Amino acid sequence: MDKINAKAVIGTNSWGGRAYGKALRGSYVEDSVIKEAMCEAREQGLMIYDIARDYGLGKAQKMLGEFADELDMDDIIISAKYTPLSRYRKGCVRRSFEKDLADVHRDYIDIYWLHLPTDIEQHLEEMIGLYNEGKIKHIGVSNFDLEECKLAKNILGKAEIPLYGVQNHYSLISREWEKNGMLGWCRENGISFWAWAVLEEGMLTDPRVKTKSSPMKFFMAPQKRKMHGLYRVMIAVAKRHCITVPQVAEAYCANKGIVPICGCRKPTQVKELAQAADIKLTSGEMRRLEKAADKSSATVLGADIFRIFVPRKR
């Protein structure tokens, strides 16, 4: 199976119903607009969609299946996850997987990620079973630390399956995976690193563009106030390349060799993401952005929020 070379990925976490959209992002986007975004993605050559069972309170992956059928898009690449939470525990991978297949109207998943590092060995064994049946084309892990990634690589290696990728939280203001050696390890081992929330759920967008408020944005506001210096640098870099501020955050990741997953609901967002992934920033610009990001001392919850579901190591 050839490795899927991802340039950028469309995140579907904010697809869903009216109340969900308003609570999360302050606005609801009509299905017709999301379908237009999918058409734009095809135009731009962005074919990968990232889903999970609970995105949009269970609605997002169903929407993807329906819309792909309506738009005759049987060539999209689906990145789905096994989320070992609530009633989905050890022994439940197949049940969850089959539900995903039914939602997206497919008989295989291109990339299947273990969403959290719990019961790693058992869950990966269950995924290996599906891989050997040809139902999963690539296996990845998400929200894993370096030690857990090495364990996953060894387990898969014994079954002669390469670890496709690591999908973790990473952005201009959350770069710990670079500092602690994860990115270097991925590069050395030919493992893709996909970054979720490269726009920090809207914090790394243009502060001059006003959007509708939401409970989520209310919690972000104090952090955004710490980021004026970073916004100044992002605006200057954006101006130099004739791009937007969020494109600077996306391009920053792409210039690190990281695959940005960005929550897109509108055609312009998809177009901007595709363009940003091709923009070359200079080493001076990258340095200035990092310096301003470090100075901002904004804190985000990131993947730490998920560690509460992971049993502590003894």
Ligand X SMILES: NC(=O)c1ccc[n+]([C@@H]2O[C@H](COP(=O)([O-])OP(=O)(O)OC[C@H]3O[C@@H](n4cnc5c(N)ncnc54)[C@H](OP(=O)(O)O)[C@@H]3O)[C@@H](O)[C@H]2O)c1
Interface residues with ligand X (CB under 6 A)?
Answer: 11-14, 25, 50, 115, 142-143, 167, 196-202, 205, 244, 246, 261-265, 269, 272
Q: How far is the CB of 278 from ligand X (least distance, A)?
A: 15
- Considering the complex, state which of residue 173 and residue 197 has its C-beta at the smaller distance from ligand X: 197
Angstrom distance (rounded) from CA 226 to CA 72: 45
Taken in order 296, 297, 302, 305, is the CA torsion positive or negative?
A: negative
Q: Report the run of H or E that residue 309 belongs to, with start and end.
A: none
- Considering the complex, state which of residue 25 and residue 137 has its C-beta at the smaller distance from ligand X: 25
Q: How far is the CB of 117 from ligand X (least distance, A)?
A: 11
Alpha helices in the chain (DSSP H): 18-25, 31-44, 60-70, 93-104, 120-132, 146-158, 176-179, 182-188, 215-225, 228-241, 245-255, 267-276, 283-296, 304-307
Reduced to 3 states (helix: H, G, I; strand: E, B; else coil), residue 181 is coil
- Considering the complex, state which of residue 31 and residue 72 has its C-beta at the smaller distance from ligand X: 31
Both tokens assigned to 145 = 């630390």
Q: How far is the CB of 160 from ligand X (least distance, A)?
A: 26
- Considering the complex, state which of residue 160 and residue 250 has its C-beta at the smaller distance from ligand X: 250
CB burial of 147-161 (b: ≥16 within 10 Å; e: otherwise) equals: ebbebbbebbeeeeb
Reduced to 3 states (helix: H, G, I; strand: E, B; else coil), residue 256 is coil
- Considering the complex, state which of residue 254 and residue 261 has its C-beta at the smaller distance from ligand X: 261
- Considering the complex, state which of residue 117 and residue 263 has its C-beta at the smaller distance from ligand X: 263
- Considering the complex, state which of residue 88 and residue 134 has its C-beta at the smaller distance from ligand X: 88
Q: How far is the CB of 247 from ligand X (least distance, A)?
A: 7
Angstrom distance (rounded) from CA 248 to CA 279: 9
* Maximum pairwise Cα distance, the chain: 53
Angstrom distance (rounded) from CA 93 to CA 95: 6
Q: How far is the CB of 12 from ligand X (least distance, A)?
A: 5
